[in-house]
């Protein structure tokens, strides 16, 4: 089976598990959570987690709840980021954003609900007794990378940093937190559940950091192609910083660095290689 086929299989398994978990109730809050989560995301983070874990022979059924938890955290961040107090985005994936569809109060609570659900799912997931201590490490990893020193801190910098404060170093710092945080957590949680060694976990973190940078630079390039600009909002952006050519060069450098990180620890996962390499494809919807 080639990497694309096996990634497609993983994506379907994730989608089924997401639907199963979110099918618990038909309350309006669950409707709002389903509305965002089940609206055609690419499941990039769950696929990173599954691919890292399965490389280390962990069973997919065991990994799936954790993969879904990462997707819940990602979707909570999208809902809160779209709120009027933040990005004030009326659309997300071609549909009205959560607060446009359900009202600001429900969107806020649905985001809170997804973040809380992520931890519930990780705490309740069946694990063999040999992995009991890994569960705490996984929950700590996700909470640190998603927290104020990670994703939330990156979102804050993204909004509050002044134009004069943006340079290559501060751009990297923001992206490593805002976008890199959850991506690093995804591959490392797969590694933790697969009992990867500390050296391998470090290589997975390096891979994740470079994939995160590539992911964001690619997004900046696609945004520039769409000529999307936010009214009045300043956002650190690699195309604005480096020019389109400079951004494309960095995108390739980051993908190369991600692949080199895998090689360094002899992680020959075709799927992890494919997930990084597909970021070079500058058509919408690849990643």
Q: Which residues bind a second copy (CB under 8 A)?
A: 25, 27-30, 33, 76, 80, 83, 85-86, 99, 103-109, 111-113, 115-117, 119-120, 122-124, 132-133, 135-137, 139-140, 142-144, 146-149, 152-153, 155-156, 159-160
Cα 59 from chain centre: 21
Shortest spacing between CB 13 and a second copy, in angstroms? 23
Shortest spacing between CB 162 and a second copy, in angstroms? 13
Nearer to a second copy, 3 or 83 (CB): 83
66 CB-contact burial (10 Å; exposed 0-12 / middle 13-18 / buried 19+)? buried
Cβ–Cβ < 8 Å for 221, 248: yes
Shortest spacing between CB 69 and a second copy, in angstroms? 11
Shortest spacing between CB 152 and a second copy, in angstroms? 5
Report in angstroms the alpha-carbon separations of 270 from 7, 29, 77.
10, 39, 29
Nearest to 265 by CA among 58, 55, 107, 81: 55
Nearer to a second copy, 135 or 235 (CB): 135
Nearer to a second copy, 177 or 273 (CB): 177
Nearer to a second copy, 115 or 214 (CB): 115
Burial 97-121 (b: 16+ CB within 10 A, else e): bbbbebeeebbbbbbebbbebbbeb
């Amino acid at each position: 089976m080639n990497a694309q086929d096996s990634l497609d299989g993983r994506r379907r398994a994730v989608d089924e598990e997401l639907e199963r978990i979110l099918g618990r109730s038909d309350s309006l809050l669950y409707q709002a959570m389903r509305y965002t989560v089940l609206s055609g995301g690419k499941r990039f983070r769950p696929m990173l987690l599954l691919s890292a874990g399965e490389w280390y022979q962990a069973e997919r059924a065991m990994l799936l709840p954790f993969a879904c938890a990462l997707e819940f955290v990602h979707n909570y961040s999208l809902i809160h980021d779209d709120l009027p107090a933040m990005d004030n985005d009326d659309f997300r994936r071609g549909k009205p954003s959560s607060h446009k569809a359900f009202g600001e109060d429900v969107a806020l609570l649905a985001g809170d609900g997804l973040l809380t659900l992520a931890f519930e799912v990780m705490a309740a997931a069946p694990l063999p007794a040999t992995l009991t201590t890994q569960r705490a490490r996984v929950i700590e990893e996700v909470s640190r990378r998603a927290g104020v020193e990670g994703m939330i801190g990156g979102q804050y910098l993204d909004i509050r940093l002044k134009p004069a404060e943006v340079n290559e170093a501060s751009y990297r710092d923001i992206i490593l937190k805002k976008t890199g945080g959850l991506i690093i957590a995804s591959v490392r949680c797969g590694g933790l559940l697969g009992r990867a060694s500390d050296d391998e976990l470090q290589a997975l973190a390096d891979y994740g950091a470079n994939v995160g940078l590539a992911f964001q630079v690619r997004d900046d390039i696609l945004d520039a192609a769409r000529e999307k600009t936010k009214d009045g909002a300043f956002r650190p952006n690699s195309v604005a910083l480096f020019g389109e050519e400079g951004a494309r060069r960095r995108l390739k450098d980051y993908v190369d660095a991600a692949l080199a990180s895998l090689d360094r620890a002899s992680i020959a996962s075709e799927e992890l290689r494919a997930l990084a390499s597909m970021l070079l494809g500058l058509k919408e919807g690849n990643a």
